[in-house]
């Protein structure tokens, strides 16, 4: 088994991540034959663009990308598409309504994927901070949403957010 290694800046410039015709993500290193790979976030909530594990088709870790932003243009795009596909978490862009009904909180929101209706029983368990000004909101069905920097949202959304936290 080969040791895991961190890809340095110069090594990152010599790799190419791309989508093959069959839709799989491929890694080409120093012009050598491409291998099917997958990308795994080591810290998906707190550092989503850092410490990206590059895994072979059989799941063995072959390298670690310290910061995906250091990849070149096409490789960066392929990596972001793969990570977004794998870790799809809608981002709440606007909170339209918040109502307490019985024991549940009902939230209507707009997300980057369209409108969403969330029901949460226990706000303490459903809204978890993951970084400064960033939360993961989980509804009763287990769906996860991200809320980032509520201070950048419109006044009504900020008012609704304050009811929840």
Based on the fold, state whether residues 17 and 45 are members of the same structural domain.
yes
**d(Cα 80, Cα 64) in Å, to the nearest integer?**
15
Based on the fold, state whether residues 41 and 113 are members of the same structural domain.
no
Q: What pLDDT shows up at residue 127?
A: 95
Based on the fold, state whether residues 158 and 140 are members of the same structural domain.
yes
1 falls within a domain? no
Based on the fold, state whether residues 14 and 82 are members of the same structural domain.
yes
Based on the fold, state whether residues 154 and 96 are members of the same structural domain.
yes
Based on the fold, state whether residues 145 and 80 are members of the same structural domain.
no
Residues 6+ apart with CB under 8 A from 149: 133, 134
**d(Cα 48, Cα 40) in Å, to the nearest integer?**
10
> Residue 103: helix, strand or coil by DSSP?
coil
Structurally, how many domains does the chain consist of?
2
> Residue 165: helix, strand or coil by DSSP?
coil
pLDDT string in tens for the chain (165-residue length): 444 556 776 677 778 899 998 889 999 887 787 789 999 999 988 888 999 999 998 989 888 999 999 898 899 999 999 998 888 899 999 999 999 999 899 999 999 999 999 999 999 899 999 888 999 999 999 999 999 999 999 999 999 999 998
Based on the fold, state whether residues 117 and 153 are members of the same structural domain.
yes
Based on the fold, state whether residues 82 and 108 are members of the same structural domain.
no
Based on the fold, state whether residues 71 and 123 are members of the same structural domain.
no
Expressed as residue numbers, the domain containing 30 is 6-86
The residue among 35, 33, 38 whose CA lies nearest residue 52 is 38
Based on the fold, state whether residues 78 and 33 are members of the same structural domain.
yes
Q: What pLDDT shows up at residue 129?
A: 93
**d(Cα 19, Cα 27) in Å, to the nearest integer?**
9
Domain end call among 56, 86, 116 = 86
Q: What pLDDT shows up at residue 1?
A: 42
**d(Cα 76, Cα 40) in Å, to the nearest integer?**
15
Whole-prediction pTM: 0.68
Q: What pLDDT shows up at residue 79?
A: 95
């Amino acid at each position: 088994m080969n040791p895991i290694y961190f890809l340095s800046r110069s090594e990152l410039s010599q790799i190419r991540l791309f989508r093959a015709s069959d839709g799989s993500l491929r890694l080409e290193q120093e012009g050598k034959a491409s291998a099917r790979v997958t990308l795994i976030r080591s810290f998906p909530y707190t550092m989503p663009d850092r410490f990206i594990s590059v895994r072979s088709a059989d799941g063995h870790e072959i390298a670690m990308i310290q910061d995906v932003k250091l990849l070149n243009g096409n490789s960066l795009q392929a990596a972001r598409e793969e990570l977004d596909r794998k870790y799809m978490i809608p981002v709440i862009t606007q909170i339209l309504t918040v109502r307490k009904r019985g024991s549940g909180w009902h939230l209507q929101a707009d997300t980057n994927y369209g409108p969403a209706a969330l029901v949460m029983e226990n706000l303490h368990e459903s809204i978890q901070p993951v970084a400064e000004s960033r939360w993961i909101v989980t509804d009763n069905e287990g769906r996860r949403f991200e809320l980032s920097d509520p201070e950048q949202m419109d006044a009504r959304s900020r008012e609704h957010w304050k009811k929840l936290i």
